[in-house]
A and B are shown apart, each in its own frame.
Chain A
Amino acid sequence: MAMSANDIETMIKEALPDATVRIEDLRGDGDHYAAMVTSKEFSGKSRVQQHQMVYKALKGKMGGQLHALALQTSVPE
């Protein structure tokens, strides 16, 4: 079962309430997404740590139910 863009956004926002999340369904197949996540919580963290925070928010779905999520993280200007 694939995940909807909405589910992904909801899970990220549950863990990072201030986050701005933009999700693109890259192939329109509900299985290959790109997400851009901006959050103050990322401040002072390495990019690896920022991505880990998003993966934690997705509670193990990344790499399983969620096959492909190209991730880009940033701190708000």
Chain B
Amino acid sequence: MTNPVFARIEEDIKNSDVVLYMKGNAMFPQCGFSAAVVEILNHFNVDFESFDVLKDPALREGIKEFSDWPTVPQLYVKGEFVGGCDIVREMAANGELVSHFEQAGVQPKA
């Protein structure tokens, strides 16, 4: 049986180029790992949609199952799972994240 939350997640990651599932919101992250990814996205100046899993227990469990990934934050670009905090941090440091955004056609905010 498919988790009913999956349809919502599929819709959300289709509707925005960059989606972050996190604890808290972009203004007030509630966890250091989520804050780190927000900071990186702000640093690269890309627009993103964020969803607060703390406000939504079904989403909190659903996103873990959907991505087959046990932790939050989780970053999606163009509907594709990029990684959690460790991977995003590593990609930001070695330049992969910039090329990933470029390849996906994600432009920095004007």
Which of B69, B82, B85 is within 8 Å of A55, CB to CB?
Answer: B69
Q: A71 interface residue, CB < 8 Å from B? A: yes
Q: B101 interface residue, CB < 8 Å from A? A: no
Which of B33, B71, B82, B87 is within 8 Å of A62, CB to CB?
Answer: B71
What are the residues of chain A within 8 A of B86 when measuring CB–CB?
51, 70-72
A residues neighboring B (CB under 8 Å): 47-48, 51-52, 55, 60, 62-64, 68, 70-72
Closest chain A CB from B58 CB (angstroms): 16
Q: How many residues of B contact A (CB 8 A)?
A: 14
Complex CA gap A2/B86 in Å reads 21
Complex CA gap A62/B83 in Å reads 15
Contact at B70–A48, with CB atoms within 8 Å?
A: no
Contact at B68–A51, with CB atoms within 8 Å?
A: no
Q: B90 interface residue, CB < 8 Å from A? A: yes
For the complex with contacts A55-B69, A72-B90, 11 further pairs of A-B residues with Cβ separation under 8 Å are A48-B81, A48-B83, A51-B69, A51-B84, A52-B68, A55-B70, A60-B70, A62-B71, A63-B64, A64-B70, A70-B86
What are the residues of chain A within 8 A of B84 when measuring CB–CB?
51
Complex CA gap A63/B53 in Å reads 14
24 CB-based A-B contacts, threshold 8 Å: A47-B83, A47-B87, A48-B69, A48-B81, A48-B82, A48-B83, A48-B87, A51-B69, A51-B83, A51-B84, A51-B86, A51-B87, A52-B68, A55-B70, A60-B70, A62-B70, A62-B71, A63-B64, A63-B71, A64-B70, A68-B33, A70-B86, A71-B86, A72-B90
